[in-house]
Amino acid sequence: MILKLSSRIQGLPKRHSGATFDNFIVDESNKKHFDICNGWDGTESIFLTGNTGTGKTHLAIAMLKSFPMIELPQEKAFEERNRIEIYADREQQDPSEKKILNEMLKTEIWKYRNASCLFVSIVEMFIELNEAAQNKDGKKVLLDRYSGQYDCICFDDFGAEKLTDAKRENFYYIIDKRYRDMKTTIVTSNFTIKEISNVEPRIASRFTEMGKILQFEGVDYRKKMGTKSS
């Protein structure tokens, strides 16, 4: 049984808040990639590269919304079950709440927790890191946040600005740490993997090792149809 994430994703931009698989525009140029994204189960990272306006951000957010809940360690899960049982057995418990609690016990949702997911613009992340660079401890906190705090992160629009040596090192640190800790990562970029390799081969190598790379070749729907995909 796979339970889907029901909580809001941190950092989700208002413009893309309604992005789902159901309202993605599918055509011959993207159907194969759409099917892969729609069938994604969150166990591997995925990198969406290619032309501007082809729906990469839309699909990335749809995948974040479908990211499965995380199974708890057995001891922690049993603690959660016992807590729910105690509340469900209270005589003064509201009947409607009692029904919900009993349903939670029946479906064994107590075995899981909501995944911690984040959507972040690469440009915004680099600005944060640059501001925190004045404080070594502050920068380390941010690097640890992006590299290890979240079960799944979408880094949106990689390559949108020139990568300085410091930016390359910072992003490689984050990607390499998530790679080693087997944390799921989604990246969107207008660059192909070859172009990324020309800029920073270590990052391109990690992208390749961590999961699937989908190259989008379609037209810019924002120009053709006035949509907000990117």
Q: What is the pLDDT of residue 219?
A: 65
Own/partner contacts of 21-26, CB < 8 Å, gap of 24 or more, are 21/59, 21/62, 21/66, 24/55, 24/58, 24/59, 24/62, 24/229, 25/55, 25/221, 25/225, 25/227, 25/229
92 and 137 belong to one structural domain:
no
Q: pLDDT value at position 7?
A: 52
Relative orientation angle of helices 74-88 and 95-107, to the nearest 10 degrees: 150
Residue 8 domain flag = no
| pLDDT for the residue 220 | 62
The CATH number of whichever domain residue 38 belongs to comes to 3.40.50.300
**Last residue within a domain, chosen from 58, 91, 112:** 112
- Provide the pLDDT for residue 217: 82
- Residues 195 and 120 grouped into a single domain: yes
pLDDT on residue 222 = 53
The single residue listed with the structure tokens 């290890």 is 148
Question: Residue 2: its pLDDT value, please?
Answer: 41
**Neighbour count for residue 63 (Cβ, 10 Å):** 23
- Phi/psi for 155 (5° steps) reads -95, 110
What pLDDT was estimated at residue 5?
42
Same domain flag for 32 and 131: yes
Last residue of a domain, one of 93, 112, 131: 112
pLDDT of residue 229: 46
Residue 2 lies in a domain: no
Domain contains 7: no
Asked if 45 contacts 184 with a C-beta cutoff of 8 angstroms, the reply is yes
Q: Which residues of the chain have pLDDT under 70?
A: 1-8, 136, 218-230
Dump pLDDT digits (tens) for 134-149: 876 788 899 999 999 9
Domain boundary residue, one of 96, 112, 128: 112
- Cβ burial of 207 (10 Å; 0-12, 13-18, 19+) is buried
Q: Is residue 1 part of a domain?
A: no
Classify residue 4: in a domain, yes or no.
no
Q: Which domain holds residue 96?
A: 71-112
Q: What is the pLDDT of residues 152-171, one digit of tens each?
A: 999 999 987 788 888 999 99
What SS3 state is found at 6? coil
Q: Domain check: are 121 and 192 in the same one? A: yes
